[in-house]
Amino acid sequence: MAHVILGLLLLAPQSLYDLIKNFEAGVALVYSASSGSIKRALDGLLANGSIEVESVEPGGRGRKVYRATDAGRAEFHRWMSGPIEGADLETAALSRLFFLGLLAPAERAAVLERIRERAAANVAELEAVERHLSALEVPEEFREVLAYQRATLDYGLSSGRHALAWFTERAEHEASA
């Protein structure tokens, strides 16, 4: 969450309200967040020096506008160019893809390649599960249960293979650009 907020603040300084609206307008397609979680992440970024208050608008509410600091820019860059971590590849990959244009063109292919490698590893794990399930002797009373578990696995494999193919194509395109 904090890295997504940093990305949005690197696009333009914003208030909490602006950040919430920008999540709803675009980032929410790949990364969902409540206004409370955005506020908590914003407070954490402010506390660790990744962002600062650029201005406080006059008036009763004193709306604060935040911007990324040099430390925040460095942290965002570290996250973008670092390993793809966490259980949910789709969220990790698409949140980076969403902000890939903030990196220098020469850095983009490496990010896409790391995502592709992670997608390949995920597919390999699911294929190992598939091989394991295929070797099991399943009692009759559990065959219907297994059929739906296999359908779930099939969906995961199909989705994973699609992601792998898509990111492979995108990484090759970026590398040749």
Mean pLDDT for all residues in the chain: 90
Tens digit of pLDDT for each residue in 7-34? Answer: 999 999 998 888 988 888 887 777 778 8
Q: Is residue 56 very low, low, confident or very high in pLDDT (cuts 50, 70, 90)?
A: confident
Please tell me the pTM assigned to this model. Answer: 0.84
One-character DSSP codes across the chain: -HHHHHHHHHHS-EEHHHHHHHHHHTGGGT----HHHHHHHHHHHHHTTSEEEEEE-SSSS--EEEEE-HHHHHHHHHHHHS---SS-HHHHHHHHHHHGGGS-HHHHHHHHHHHHHHHHHHHHHHHHHHHHHHH----GGGHHHHHHHHHHHHHHHHHHHHHHHHHHHHHHHHHH-
Q: Is residue 59 very low, low, confident or very high in pLDDT (cuts 50, 70, 90)?
A: low
Report the pLDDT averaged over residues 68-78.
96
Tens digit of pLDDT for each residue in 111-133? Answer: 999 999 999 999 999 999 999 98
